[in-house]
Amino acid sequence: PEEKKPELPLFYGWFLLKEEEERIKCATMDFLKTLDTLEAFKEHISEFTSEANKEVDLEQYFQNPLPLHCTTKFCDYGKAEGAKEYAELQVVKEATGKSEELSVTALIVTPRTFGARVALTETQLNLWPEGEDKVGVAPTLLPGVESLPAGSRAHVTLGCSAGVEAVQTGLDLLEILVLQKEGKEGTQVEMDMGTLSYLSEGRWYLALREAITADTTFSSFSE
Ligand code: ACK
């Protein structure tokens, strides 16, 4: 019998246009290049490498196989909860193939992931599934996440360290936002691009002085 094609995609999201992808990659790589030369970063280098006194080349440390995007709904070809319902939403159908400008307001770096925080507009939030911020969040982090505004998890994964899955970027971002809300920010360093803060256990947050915007297209993605 003929094999049935999967009806639902791996995920939906906003995909950066090719030329935008290059621009964002360059700008964010420049930040990584500066970060690993900072004294404040070097003081916490052991959180990125087990070898004492070893330097870390962050540009090599993070890898990213997927096109740059901001996931709205991970469907897992229909295996994820709410996947079918999401695909059938009128707003989703209408948005597919449409352009949208995303605004990146911060960058995060942890021993696991490198990501860009996306600030969603009211219109963009219509495509953000209810309760999506909480999916797969550890029980200990859940109360903190529930106190954050919807869409707090929105991000673009710029890279992951060896053996780490992209889903981790959103989880790392949420952890950082919860720590910030609890007032647990440590060292702050002024950089050209913005204010860098340290949030324990190798977590860094760069609040951009000026948001980086990127033109995208909303669509589904399947491998
Ligand atoms: O960086 P991301 O948002 O994290 O983009 C990729 C994309 O879907 C394809 O893997 C995201 N992703 C993977 N698994 C999940 C999950 N369980 N929940 C939410 N997003 C996920 C991943």
- Please determine, for the modelled complex, whether the ipTM score is greater than 0.95: yes
Nearest C-alpha to atom 13 of ligand 1 is from which residue? 167
pLDDT band at 179 (very low <50, low <70, confident <90, very high): very high
Answer whether 72 contacts ligand 1 (Cβ < 6 A).
no
Q: What residue type is 183 in one-letter code?
A: G
155 belongs to the catalytic site: yes
pLDDT exceeds cutoff 80 at 53:
no
Query: What are the strands, taking DSSP E only, across the chain?
Result: 11-16, 69-74, 99-109, 113-118, 155-160, 188-190, 194-198, 204-221
**What is the separation of C-alpha 161 from the centre of its chain, rounded to a whole number of angstroms?**
14
Beta bridge mates, 69: 15
Q: H helices then E strands: how many in the chain?
A: 8, 8
Answer whether 75 contacts ligand 1 (Cβ < 6 A).
no
Of residues 44, 69, 112, 203, which has the active-site annotation?
69
Q: What pLDDT, in 10s, does the model give residues 43-52?
A: 999 999 877 6
Q: What pLDDT, in 10s, does the model give residues 74-132?
A: 999 999 999 999 999 999 999 999 999 999 999 999 999 999 999 999 999 999 999 99
44 belongs to the catalytic site: no
- Letter string b/e over residues 67-93, b meaning 16 or more CB atoms within 10 A of that residue's CB: ebbbbbbbbeeeebeebeebbeeeebe
Whole-angstrom distance, CA of residue 33 vs CA of residue 191: 12
Answer whether 135 contacts ligand 1 (Cβ < 6 A).
yes
